[in-house]
Amino acid sequence: MAEQTPCGAQGLDQPGQQRGECQRDDHVPACDLHGEIHAPHLLGVLAGHLAELAELRDRAGNPGERLEAVLERYAFIQKQRHGHGGELSALLHRGDDVAHAEQHLRHFVRGLLAEGVRAGEVRDDVPPDELAGYCLHALVGAGVLSSKAAVLRLVAVTLAGLRPQG
């Protein structure tokens, strides 16, 4: 039987291949028959990124400055993630631990946005939860950008969408 890799990395293209089982690719973590990821080192990477973002969120400063720092670092994480051949992409779409981490990230970005609304630095006509989704989804696009300057422009455009109207 072939060594296992993440489901969906390739299709079921080998005789006798089971659902969730793919040809071996050393750059992608293994999964079992149900598509569960077995890559604790990648979960550790994800946890490290969350800790780094939380540290930026918890720094002294006004909510707008902290929000900008978190979103900028998140964008660069997305750019870095793209350079790892999709390893983290496979991880980010599987497993309860990853879903929990994504919820945690969204929750603390939403909290920063709510602080920004109270400080008059973030628009108040859109709920913070919707703005958090906007930010995180927009900045995933940094993964395909070719330069640091392009990532910073994307962050600036994303932040511009958060400014109070009027």
Q: Is residue 165 part of a domain?
A: no
More confident residue, 120 or 40: 120
**Cβ-based neighbour number of residue 35 at 10 Å:** 15
Prediction pTM value: 0.69
CB neighbour list of residue 97: distance below 8 Å, 6 or more residues apart: 43
Where residue 70 sits, what CATH number does that domain have? 1.10.357.10
- Between CA 17 and CA 10 the distance in angstroms is 11
Q: Note the pLDDT of residue 18.
A: 44
Q: Is residue 166 part of a domain?
A: no
Scanning 58-142, the segments in alpha helix (DSSP H) are 63-82, 87-92, 96-118, 128-140
Q: Are residues 91 and 26 in the same domain?
A: no
Residue 46: enclosing H or E segment and its boundaries? Answer: helix 40-57
CB neighbour list of residue 17: distance below 8 Å, 6 or more residues apart: 2
Q: Note the pLDDT of residue 47.
A: 77
Range of the domain at 29: 1-38
Q: Are 71 and 158 in contact (CB under 8 A)?
A: yes
Q: Are residues 53 and 98 in the same domain?
A: yes
Q: Are residues 15 and 71 in the same domain?
A: no
Give 78-132 pLDDT, tens digit per residue.
Answer: 998 765 544 445 555 556 766 777 888 899 899 999 999 999 999 999 999 999 9
Q: Is residue 143 part of a domain?
A: yes
Structural tokens at position 111: 């909290």
Please state the domain count of the chain.
2
